[in-house]
Amino acid sequence: MNPSRLVRNLLATNAPRATVLVRFVVGAVFLSEGLQKFLFPAALGVGRFAKIGIPWPEFTAPFDGVFEIGCGLLILVGLATRLAAVPLIVDMLVAIATTKLPMLLKSGFWATAHEARTDWSMLLGAIFLLIVGGGSWSIDARLLRKAGDRRD
């Protein structure tokens, strides 16, 4: 596959304008969570990563925060939406595996279901954006339209 075709496939979207609502929620939550890892490192960043046993918390917490901020911003504006969704999906799978599975074993289904609602929502929102792209009100769609205009 040639590079221009790959880019076109990554940017292509038939999703409706309402996709902007999903982008806004997913992007804003990830942006906020990423910023909070730096604003409140003991509670939500390095300290939390150390508490739940994530290796090398001094590296992994800021690394995760940067990805959440960067990918959250990309999702918000609809630029490289599908690419930005991939690290966020991985992020949520790790979050569920490291925090919600232990809770399930300790506290049971209903306590975990309550605590995991945001995790599952963000995971499914990111998967949705990976599948459909940024929607017609995205920079992705605008770039694709401009590229089509130049070819004509």
Q: For residue 127, which of 80, 92, 78, 79 has the smallest C-alpha distance?
A: 92
Residue 84 in domain: yes
Report the number of distinct structural domains present in the chain: 1
pTM of the model: 0.91
Residue 42 in domain: yes
Residue 61 in domain: yes
Tens of pLDDT, residue by residue over 41-77, are: 999 999 999 999 999 999 999 999 999 999 999 999 9
Q: Which pLDDT score is estimated for 152?
A: 41
Alpha carbon separation from 101 to 53, 134, 144 (Å, rounded): 13, 31, 41
Q: For residue 87, which of 120, 58, 122 has the smallest C-alpha distance?
A: 122
pLDDT one digit per residue (tens) for the chain, 152 residues: 676 788 888 888 889 999 999 999 999 999 999 999 999 999 999 999 999 999 999 999 999 999 999 999 999 999 999 999 999 999 999 999 999 999 999 999 999 999 999 999 999 999 999 999 999 999 999 998 888 765 54
Q: Which pLDDT score is estimated for 146?
A: 87
| CA 1 distance to own-chain centroid | 27
Residue 25 in domain: yes
The owner of tokens 């309402």 is: 18
φ/ψ bin of 16: left (φ > 0), alpha (ψ from -120 to 50), beta (otherwise)? beta
Cα–Cα distance, 57 to 65 (Å, whole number) = 11
Residue 20 in domain: yes
Residue 152 in domain: no
- Domain ranges, residue 45: 3-147
Residue 125 in domain: yes
Cβ–Cβ < 8 Å for 11, 144: yes
